[in-house]
Structure 1
Amino acid sequence: METINLVWFKKDLRTFDNEALNEALKTENVIPIFVIEPDLWKLPDHSSRQWEFVRECLIDLNNSLNDIGLKLIIRVGNIEDVIKEFTERFHVKGIYSHEETGNEWTFKRDQDLRRFTKNENIHWYEYRQFGVFRGLKTRKNWSRKWEQHMSQELINDPRRVNYFIDIPSHNLPSSKSLKLNLDKCSHRIQGGRKQGLNKLYEFLKYKIDNYQYSLSSPLKAFDGCSRLSPYLTWGCLSVREVVQTIRRTKKRGSRAINSRLHWHCHFIQKLESEPELESREYHPYMSGIRKSNQIFLKAWSQGLTGIPFIDACMRSLNSHGWINFRMRAMLMSFASYQLWLPWQESGLCLARKFIDYEPGIHWTQCQMQSGTTSINTMRIYNPIKQGYDHDPEGIFIRTWVKELQYLPSKFIHAPWKIDLFHQDDSSLVLGKNYPFPIVDPIISTNTARAKLKEIRNKPGFFDIANNILEKHSSRKRRKSKLKKKQNNPVLHKQLTLKL
């Protein structure tokens, strides 16, 4: 029986700087596999738009493997059954993959697989994908470890191998055959390493100098941001190669994006260290404080809240599968505070919309923007002020909320203020072709602030918060313990509802 190594591709869909592939090729002949797991893809944080992106990535990966004399073997099912299939034909010496910080399902799958491979006497080797460290007990020296990982020499594409075995591969299924709910994403970017490299080189050549000035406004972000996040999420590009490529440019803006790549791993490390944070609040006092409201959730998800800037951002996200970070934070903040929705429900809704859904970043950010971490500033974004700040003429709103495209600029951010008896555009009828606000933004904000203040004033709140700070904060930034009262007039001015 022939001895082989299996390379299990998961979210490292590239051959360049792929340690698992490189190490597997050192000892035995290799068979690369990708397992499409229907039980994973039917989960509520996955979607057809994500699968279609991954499908394109897999086609590109297979082409890269063909270039070095290998073929990607596709299987639909579960990983244990796939391994059993190969053990019937080969002596599987080892399984090689990257360390994945995924959702609860992938975490349990990997635990089960570890027991299975141990019982079958198969070695399973996992390699670091990001600057995230498994088994880390403290954040002390985390930044130094991250820097060491990012500075390691990149691993070139493997040399062409002489081993090629013609094993039949399953066809890549469509979203329909996977029984995924079809969600139209007409402006989605294309998947694959070639597309990712094009985005990277385009960014470095034309955009990086003005990067930090394009982050906040959705008017600038679609053209000014790197748009690399989906390619990092699915491993078409390695974080390490992007960090090193950007550092070599030494252009204005390189420090800004390097910082964000650092924070990318910082947040994933939180979920790696405490997987329960996908569904459980950081602070126990914040557990169960919000109530489900399916009417509010549906209106928010469809961009029909009656708050124009919120609706424009959500409709743009629905169409692109991406939106800039500040607008993500605002959408989550609005759902959590003004609509008072549980972050788990609104978080799932956003997760399946994002092509770049990365559980470690997503769920820790959902909690951060919902105030449940207890160690971050409570950010209650004023969506009307955000609109004035980042879309002053209403260009973005008119692009995505067509019902308001002829409304005068002075009313575009708050159409309910218009005098319906003297408006120039008689076609706009609030409550008919565009909804009234589903909540009063001022009253709902004040109500949320009062509720959170009451919780934070409970005995022992800040003792627990400081324990959370000790476990999860960056040692590079943390200088003192949390105090019961923090005054920041600049921040207050930014977040206040007073325009």
Structure 2
Amino acid sequence: MSETAVVWFRDDLRVHDNETLNAAVAGAERVVPLYVFDEREHAGTGMFDLSKKGARWGRFRREAVVDLRASLRDLGGDLLVRHGDPRAVVPAVAETVDADTVHLQTKPATEELADEHAVQSLLADRGIDTERHWTHTLYHVDDLPTPSHDIHDTFTPWREEVEREATVRAPLSTPAAVTTPPLGAAGDADVPSLEELGHDPADASYDDRGVLAFEGGETAALERLDDYIWDGDHLRKYKETRNGLLGADYSSKFSAWLAHGCLSPRRVHAAVERYEDERVANEDTYWLVFELLWRDFFQFQFVKHGADFFRPNGIRDVEKEWRRGPEAREAFERWAAGETGVPFVDANMRELNATGYMSNRGRQNVASFLADAMGVDWRLGAAYFESRLVDYDVASNWGNWAYQAGVGNDSRDNYFDVLAQAEHYDPGAEYVTHWLPELDGLPAEYAHRPWRLSAAGQERHGVVLGRDYPEPPFDVAERFRKL
């Protein structure tokens, strides 16, 4: 065996359970791992001229690449790091190192697929083979009982079929060694700084009001897995606590490491199974796997529907009229800034802006408020999340937004009454006042609905609407009664 293989790392920034890396090591004597910081992701713009990825996403990704390079060096290999357009960089590197094959992770998202095809074509022109590997989901695409292009568009029947007829593969072992040929000065290239990637480091700083620091990398991912499941013993109450809003451990917080590929979903599944064998198995422990299945569902839905997820009326072409134009854009800007005058919405948006994270309960509510109550094109919200989330994943983000907007994988057009939700999940208004300190002096009964205070009451509590906190754009309770 004398072949040379390039491993193009993408959203699979780990050495554990990585089919792409394992296949290269098994099939070639020399392996050149490569990561390309895509200039279009870090400094480019996407839909509605919003930035593609935010500084916190960039910081997390950079930390993950630094950690990956260290892990590969521990295995005797290395990581070649580049900054540019991978469509040009990957073929050029493969040609320079005289590669026989390029191994890469494949994903169903449209832009990622277009890049894969472009790279594959250019490699073929140079006589270099391409091998694509599926590494991002719990269930392998080849193991689905019904091929992706024919699967149910509704989650429950899809989940029931998969759980009944498919098996989760065991995680792959980490290679014992990775043999990388000497890369010379090219291998010593520094990982680009945040500034070089186009981010302001101040925008990537950690806000100590946040639920978790979210350090990028496989090392931090596996530490979080152990901390949450084993050391903290939180899994036994996962379903019970997962709708929390404050603190590190109301939910697993695995999403960022899963999105960047620092953590394999099969590694999580194996940990859950071991926990159930050694400690307790109940509905709560199953529910974490249930959430991984939702994540899988949207990945496979993107295989089936692709770019249709980005249409204003979604994969079902639902007849809906979305507000557009200057007034709608102004409404969106208030929503994005956390200045709608509806405390539960604003608190969640300010958490997102300050930390790059928001709870699942919060995401559902702010999405419903933008799309259902404000009637603004839901894609503005999805694109804004793309520009802010540290755990951004194409399929999860756009699939969930379409679902909530009533144009995705649910024929029902449900909405969230954000006032009722706020009072149910934040009855003491601790979350709202944590992120909206200007409301800290209000009794809980008014913190979620400050407009109920009389003018004298507003003055007495130091929260005058229109001066200390925005007035809502409409009668919120009445708007939800009409939905």
TM class, shorter-chain normalised?
Answer: 0.7 to 0.9
Q: How does 1:396-435 map to 2 (within 5 A)?
A: 396-423=431-458, 425-435=460-470
The correspondence for 2:383, drawn from 320, 342, 348, is 348
Counterpart residue number, 1:195: 220
The correspondence for 2:229, drawn from 195, 198, 204, is 204
- Does the Cα contact within 8 Å between 1:338 and 1:439 map onto a contact in 2? no
CA distance in 1, matches of 2:102, 2:165: 26
CA distance in 2, matches of 1:217, 1:361: 20
Counterpart residue number, 2:134: 128
CA pair 426-224 structure 1, distance change in 2 beyond 3 A: closer
CA distance in 1, matches of 2:59, 2:329: 28
Counterpart residue number, 1:466: none
Q: How does 1:152-171 map to 2 (within 5 A)?
A: 152-167=169-184, 168-169=186-187, 170-171=189-190
Cα deviation for residue 115 of structure 1 reads: 2.1
Amino acid at match of 1:275: G
CA pair 398-195 structure 1, distance change in 2 beyond 3 A: same
The correspondence for 1:255, drawn from 282, 286, 292, is 286
CA distance in 2, matches of 1:160, 1:35: 23
Counterpart residue number, 2:249: 223
CA pair 142-389 structure 1, distance change in 2 beyond 3 A: closer
Cα deviation for residue 142 of structure 1 reads: 6.2
Cα deviation for residue 288 of structure 1 reads: 4.8
Counterpart residue number, 1:116: 122
Question: Does 2:87 match 1:54?
Answer: no
- Does the Cα contact within 8 Å between 1:368 and 1:376 map onto a contact in 2? no
Helix, strand or coil at the partner of 2:470: coil
CA pair 366-145 structure 1, distance change in 2 beyond 3 A: same
- Does the Cα contact within 8 Å between 2:148 and 2:301 map onto a contact in 1? no
Counterpart residue number, 1:370: 405
- Does the Cα contact within 8 Å between 2:16 and 2:173 map onto a contact in 1? yes
CA distance in 1, matches of 2:162, 2:124: 30
Counterpart residue number, 2:48: none
Helix, strand or coil at the partner of 1:173: coil
Helix, strand or coil at the partner of 2:203: coil
Counterpart residue number, 1:22: 22
TM-score, normalized by length of structure 2? 0.86
CA pair 147-52 structure 1, distance change in 2 beyond 3 A: farther
Show CA shifts across 1:319-346 (max 9, x none). Answer: 2322221211111000001111101111
Helix, strand or coil at the partner of 1:341: coil
Bigger mean CA deviation after superposition, 424-433 or 54-63:
424-433
- Does the Cα contact within 8 Å between 2:441 and 2:461 map onto a contact in 1? no
Q: State the superposition RMSD in angstroms.
A: 2.3
Counterpart residue number, 1:323: 358
Q: How does 1:287-306 map to 2 (within 5 A)?
A: 288-292=321-325, 293-306=328-341
Question: Does 2:186 match 1:174?
Answer: no
Structure 2: tracts of 5 or more residues without a match: 46-50
- Does the Cα contact within 8 Å between 2:439 and 2:447 map onto a contact in 1? yes
Show CA shifts across 1:133-153 (max 9, x none). Answer: 387331279656678876323
Question: Does 2:183 match 1:183?
Answer: no
Counterpart residue number, 1:76: 83
Show CA shifts across 1:212-264 (max 9, x none). Answer: 111223146x4221111111111111111111111111134211101111111
CA distance in 2, matches of 1:109, 1:62: 23
Show CA shifts across 1:109-136 (max 9, x none). Answer: 1222232223322211111111363873
CA distance in 2, matches of 1:10, 1:30: 16
- Does the Cα contact within 8 Å between 1:406 and 1:425 map onto a contact in 2? no
Cα deviation for residue 267 of structure 1 reads: 1.4
CA distance in 2, matches of 1:48, 1:172: 16
Helix, strand or coil at the partner of 1:110: helix
TM-score, normalized by length of structure 1? 0.83
Q: How does 1:414-493 map to 2 (within 5 A)?
A: 414-423=449-458, 425-445=460-480, 449=483
Cα deviation for residue 381 of structure 1 reads: 1.1
Counterpart residue number, 1:357: 392
- Does the Cα contact within 8 Å between 1:339 and 1:439 map onto a contact in 2? no
Counterpart residue number, 2:306: 275
Counterpart residue number, 2:111: 105
Helix, strand or coil at the partner of 2:150: coil
CA distance in 2, matches of 1:331, 1:34: 35
CA distance in 2, matches of 1:374, 1:154: 30
Amino acid at match of 1:245: A
- Does the Cα contact within 8 Å between 1:291 and 1:340 map onto a contact in 2? no
Counterpart residue number, 1:139: 151
CA distance in 2, matches of 1:112, 1:287: 35
Bigger mean CA deviation after superposition, 276-285 or 421-430:
421-430
CA distance in 2, matches of 1:352, 1:38: 15
- Does the Cα contact within 8 Å between 1:277 and 1:363 map onto a contact in 2? no
Cα deviation for residue 165 of structure 1 reads: 1.0
Amino acid at match of 2:172: I
CA pair 14-146 structure 1, distance change in 2 beyond 3 A: farther
Aligned length: 445
Cα deviation for residue 277 of structure 1 reads: 3.0
Counterpart residue number, 2:11: 11
Bigger mean CA deviation after superposition, 35-44 or 48-57:
35-44
Amino acid at match of 1:176: E
CA distance in 2, matches of 1:363, 1:419: 41
- Does the Cα contact within 8 Å between 1:305 and 1:435 map onto a contact in 2? yes
Percent of matched pairs sharing the same residue: 23
- Does the Cα contact within 8 Å between 1:101 and 1:359 map onto a contact in 2? no
CA distance in 1, matches of 2:424, 2:318: 34
